[in-house]
Amino acid sequence: MDNNPGRAINVEYLEGDGAVEGDTLIVKLGETDFAFSLKDHSFSKFISSTQITVAVMANDTDYTAWFNSSVITPEGIKEANNYDATVGDNDISDPDFTVEEQELIYFLRSLDFDTVLDTVSGIHREADQSKSKAAMHLRVGRIQTANAFDKQAANLEQLAYLLGKANKDYIAHGYQVE
């Protein structure tokens, strides 16, 4: 564990032979390098109003690595929120979206403030429960189960954030998902 909050983190992407399965993400923390193969790890991110947290979870082994940024400027957070390597176009009429996905997007946009607030709060409560379950399983040595609950908590936090961000009424009330 690195306790130097000012230490720079650099990331490199190494392409393997052929498919993505041979690709590796290298995280450089000071003089230490961590290698995470894409085929053996799952990745999750959470962007708050001031910081970015990334979780790297081993698919079939016993660890999760967490990387937290220091405080990021509002401009940097805005840029991070606008970046999504998995989505090329925000046009929901894109043929890659199914009819069901388009319906979901339109529905999320139509929800009123109170509904989104209650839903986001409920998702945060579930994320907190998943974190508690992860800690409980970690204490008794069930590392894989703890990792699964950690991953679930990170996914729920991201879902709450994206739900709030996708609803103009929620944003208009000045709420920012953290």
In a structure prediction context, what are the per-residue pLDDT tens digits for the chain, which is 178 residues long?
Answer: 445 555 677 888 888 776 555 788 888 888 888 888 888 888 777 778 888 888 788 877 677 888 888 788 888 888 887 775 544 334 455 556 777 877 787 777 777 888 888 999 999 999 999 999 999 998 998 889 988 999 999 999 989 888 888 777 777 777 654 4
- State the number of CA atoms in the 13 A half-sphere of 38 facing the CB: 13
Specify the residue for token string 């529905």. Answer: 107
Best CA proximity match to 152, nearest among 122, 131, 138: 131
Strand segments, DSSP code E, in the chain are 9-14, 24-29, 32-37, 41-47, 52-58, 64-68
Query: Global pTM?
Result: 0.48
- Quote the CA–CA distance of 70 and 16 in Å, as a whole number: 31
DSSP 96: T
pLDDT in tens, 91-122: 455 556 777 877 787 777 777 888 888 999 99
- Strand-pairing partners, residue 72, are none
Helix (H, G, I), strand (E, B) or coil at 167: coil
Tally the residues of the chain.
178
